[in-house]
Amino acid sequence: MQKVLVVVGPTGVGKTSLSIELAKKYNAEIISGDAYQCYKELTIGSAKILPEEMQGIPHYLVDNISYKEEYNVKIFQQKARAYIEDIVSRGKLPMIVGGTGLYIKSLLYDYVFHDEEIDQKYNDYLETLTNEELYAKLLEVDEKAAKDLHPNNRKRVRRALMMDHMGHQKSETLAKQEHKLLYDAYIVGLTMERPHLYERIDKRVLQMISQGLENEVMGLVNKADDFDLQSLQGIGYKEWKAYYLGEKDKEDTIALIQKNTRNFAKRQYTWFRNQMDIHWYDIERKDFKQELLVEIENWIKDE
């Protein structure tokens, strides 16, 4: 199987800087496994790697579509697999870097996506329900699928309800897949003490504010409904809607971004630990990098 190096972990843990170091050492090119860094206009809030930070390492699925265009896990899977083939054809090592767990798992494992079927009348009915009502309904018809989704992830909850309505439950569809790795993947997971990570997250949000996050967000919206765009559902963007409507002040908005980012990091840890076979490294350990490099080299040599 084709070797693919993967670097995952929660937001703010230091994936970007390590990935550049590894790419330079192992002649790798990087595919972003992030759901928001693909949007050209979303730079500060997505913590997107900047051209000068890439140090000449090619990056794919970064800065490649408009924030008004559709992007989802199926599109990511198709594009990322094509990039892997291209990178390999040029004698390079493909590296996936990011924190969007479902995207990365869909790429590495035998995930098969069905064309979306929609009953417009049922879809219109779902539109009338609140997030709480949608989630409660999904708990009734597909409890297993519901437990894998956040109650406020309206789009995915509705999609799971539509799948059930059309006769193929999301949980059953996933269960039929073998969950086999399609690549010889070495998955590096970065971790650190939670209080230290949360402190880094809070500081990074403040840095984003000083870099002009408010102006970046407000430059993308002309009306409140623009916040419903899929691209603006990411943390660091969606929290500004209440501020835009005059319902929250700037300080409360910043505190909410910090809180949501910390909670997201916690969920990322839980997801990664339960969904994939990951080699975890504590970046606060002095010898972590030495251990990491030895294990990667052993993996590369192992045919």
Tokens of 182: 């399609």
Does 6 carry a binding-site annotation? no
Tokens of 235: 């943390």
Considering only CA atoms, which of 244, 212, 213 is closest in space to residue 228?
244
15 CB-near residues (< 8 Å, 6+ apart): 7, 8, 9, 97, 98, 99, 190
* SS3 readout for the chain: CCEEEEEECCCCCCHHHHHHHHHHHHCEEEEECCCCCCECCCCCCCCCCCHHHCCCCCEECCCCECCCCCCCHHHHHHHHHHHHHHHHHCCCEEEEECCCHHHHHHHHECCCCCCCCCCHHHHHHHHCCCHHHHHHHHHHHCHHHHHCCCCCCHHHHHHHHHHHHCCCCHHHHHHHCCCCECCEEEEEEEECCHHHHHHHHHHHHHHHHHHCHHHHHHCCCCCHHHHHCHHHHCCCCCCHHHHHCCCCCHHHHHHHHHHHHHHHHHHHHHHHHHHCCCEEEECCCCCHHHHHHHHHHHHHHCC
Does 11 carry a binding-site annotation? yes
Does 189 carry a binding-site annotation? no
Does 14 carry a binding-site annotation? yes
Does 100 carry a binding-site annotation? no
**β pairing state of 28-32 and 59-60:** parallel
| Residue numbers belonging to the annotated binding site for ATP | 9-16
| Residue numbers belonging to the annotated binding site | 9-16
| Residue numbers belonging to the annotated binding site for substrate | 11-16
